[in-house]
Structure 1
Amino acid sequence: MGATDRKVGRTPGPRTGSSKRLARIDAAVGLSFAAPAVIGVLVLGLVPFGYVIWYSLHDWSPLIGEFNWIGLDNFTRLIADDTVWSSFLTTFKYAALLMVLNITLAMGLAVLLNQKLRGTTTFRAFFFSPVIVSAVAWVLVWNYLVAANGGINGALATIGIQGPNWLRDPTWALVTVVVIQVFKGVGMNMILFLAALQNVPAELREAARIDGASPARIFRSVTLPLISPTILLVVMITTIGAMDVFVPIQILTQGGPGRSTTVISYLLYRTAFEQQDFGYASAIGVVLFVVVLVLAALQWSSRKRWVHDEV
């Protein structure tokens, strides 16, 4: 007889009809709460993706009214399309630069905020506020700031520096979009890193300090391993978001100058809504999904080598 049984004064027996009925009610209540989320995933996720796969196997142009089965011809065409691969390369460049800048800056800000300095609440609110601003509004403000005669070049001119045409120079256009998006999203990653840093046991850092470890060594050997699960989460969500960038490209550069900022999601949009080639656009979407899935799988599988789940 266990301690629990002794407290209630009886041994556990088989479930009565009443207890089984209560269990069924509990299960039904649980399913009722989960059902909206499950239905939402099915209706808004899996079903549309199934249609995309189906459309990718057809030559479909709504304006003309054609909807002809062509099998894998769209994918064969995609493999030979230099524009698609150039757009993927631009997307990878964008994603890599965004990840390095965003994660590095977010980590630095989180470490600074974790020092319990005066004014950290205001500082945190300042960097987090862009996260809650509409993406379109955010980009429109920056469109003014980085214009050839905009705020940034005006400020540079006051100190005798002639700024470039940020959005029309192939050297600067993609970098400018990256910087704008870094400031848009760094606040969220900063909060995630800050929460992870505040969960690191202080006694572990103190023990390392007593052993003579420098602050840099403590951060590298104690703090980073303990927050590595959060780092993995941030890397994955930042990668997925970077591979799906669209709003800043559409508003700021329209894929130019030339094709220097034509990322794959923007090429998909133009193929579908400007060229009205929905079948080919669907094939591009399927390949993009597979690429993102592979990247996420590679990042997840790498966790065994550098993510520490236990203190």
Structure 2
Amino acid sequence: MRSVRPDRAVEAVSDGPVAPPDRPRDRLRRRPLGGPGWVGWAFVLPGLIGLAVFIVIPQVASLVLGFADSTLLGGTQFTGTQNYVRLLHDTQFLNSVRVTAIFVLVYVPANIAISMAMAMWLKTRIAGRNWLRVIFLIPALSPLVANAAVFRLLFQKDGAVNQALATIGLGPIPWLSDGDWALAVVIGVSLWQSFGYNMIVLGAGIDSISPDVIAASRIDGAGRFRRLVSITLPLVSPALFFTTVLTVIGAWQTFAQAYVITGGGPGNSTMTIMLYLYQTAFTNNELGYASAIATVLFVIIAIFTLFQLWGQRRWVHYD
């Protein structure tokens, strides 16, 4: 019996030439307006409108106003790079950069260290650890301004903190009238406010580590420190990277704590960049100069973020 090739058998069965396969581009062109393809855009469109109205357009407007002399009452006159030249000689702005940099250098490592330590502690078999997670997360969910106002009352000269110190024979500490102590209070309140969120994220990273890996390391004789350095930290490094990036960005934008607790004082010792930007725009009525400050702050945050993205290849493990 004579064999028939498969392709010729198909030609024999079909009445005519075989049509080319339908390409996705052709199906998209034939799709009527209002079809399934537009359903996704209908859901995304409100978010895109909000992104454009509240983020993109204000950022572009701020960038443009940075090259102008403008006030909140109107009247804009473009002055070129005059605002940025002024920033280089503005001692108050340079001081705000120094104060914010000190805040970032102290706050970010302390936040990550406390969050990691608390996440590892809650990983152990302690009673009520789920309730403890909720308790530690409450400050991050509560209003920042309200918390700062409460701490301002606590750290006043005759506040509850100094009264508690007096009961054990310690003299009153000038928490809010001394520059170093005031900055320490702002950093401490910021840590109390925000470490709970990072603790939850890092705790989720620790929970994702396979128990078999930990068991194998114990069989090999690895101690707690060796397991921390060689197993826990590498496997949690994606969560560490995520929390570090967000914490650095938030630290450079610190505002409410310094504004409510100290008002930038004493002697501009807690004057952060965001607080100086706010006073420049809404107290001094220099909207153009404040926009230049905002642009410089954006560049600083972008540099730090890009540096972290570049450095993640050396210590972040996604395997």
**TM-score under structure 2 normalisation?**
0.89
C-alpha deviation, 1:269, in angstroms: 0.7
Q: 2:56 aligns with which of 32, 46, 58?
A: 46
Q: How does 1:48-127 map to 2 (within 5 A)?
A: 48-63=58-73, 65-127=74-136
C-alpha deviation, 1:135, in angstroms: 0.8
Partner of 1:28: 38
Q: Deviations over 1:225-265 (max 9, x none)?
A: 01101101101101111111111111111111101101111
Q: 1:183 aligns with which of 181, 192, 197?
A: 192
Seen in structure 2, the aligned counterparts of structure 1 residues 18 and 79 have a Cα distance that, compared at 3 Å, is: closer
Q: Deviations over 1:146-198 (max 9, x none)?
A: 11111111111111111312111112111110100100001100000100000
Matched, 1:259 2:268: yes
Q: 1:245 aligns with which of 225, 237, 254?
A: 254
Matched, 1:289 2:298: yes
C-alpha deviation, 1:22, in angstroms: 8.9
Structure 2 SS opposite 1:25: coil
Q: Using the alignment, how far apart are the partners of 1:31 and 1:51 within structure 2?
A: 27
Q: Using the alignment, how far apart are the partners of 2:176 and 2:186 within structure 1?
A: 8
C-alpha deviation, 1:220, in angstroms: 0.8
Larger CA Rg, structure 1 vs 2: 2
Quote the sequence identity (%). Answer: 34
Q: Using the alignment, how far apart are the partners of 2:32 and 2:185 within structure 1?
A: 60
C-alpha deviation, 1:83, in angstroms: 1.7
Seen in structure 2, the aligned counterparts of structure 1 residues 186 and 23 have a Cα distance that, compared at 3 Å, is: farther
Q: Using the alignment, how far apart are the partners of 1:134 and 1:75 within structure 2?
A: 35
Q: Report the AA paired with residue 222 of structure 2.
A: A
Structure 1 SS opposite 2:240: helix
Q: Using the alignment, how far apart are the partners of 1:297 and 1:18 within structure 2?
A: 41
C-alpha deviation, 1:139, in angstroms: 0.8
Q: Using the alignment, how far apart are the partners of 1:33 and 1:74 within structure 2?
A: 41
Structure 2 SS opposite 1:231: helix
Partner of 2:10: none
Seen in structure 2, the aligned counterparts of structure 1 residues 194 and 80 have a Cα distance that, compared at 3 Å, is: same
Q: Report the AA paired with residue 252 of structure 1.
A: I
Partner of 2:281: 272
Gaps of at least 5 residues in structure 1 are: 1-11
Q: 1:222 aligns with which of 198, 214, 231?
A: 231
- Report the aligned-residue RMSD: 2.0
Q: Using the alignment, how far apart are the partners of 2:151 and 2:115 within structure 1?
A: 20
C-alpha deviation, 1:25, in angstroms: 2.9
Number of aligned residue pairs: 298
**TM-score under structure 1 normalisation?**
0.91
Q: Using the alignment, how far apart are the partners of 2:55 and 2:72 within structure 1?
A: 23
Structure 1 SS opposite 2:179: coil
Structure 2 SS opposite 1:245: coil
Seen in structure 2, the aligned counterparts of structure 1 residues 41 and 185 have a Cα distance that, compared at 3 Å, is: same
Partner of 1:7: none
Q: How does 1:137-156 map to 2 (within 5 A)?
A: 137-156=146-165
Q: Using the alignment, how far apart are the partners of 1:290 and 1:162 within structure 2?
A: 44
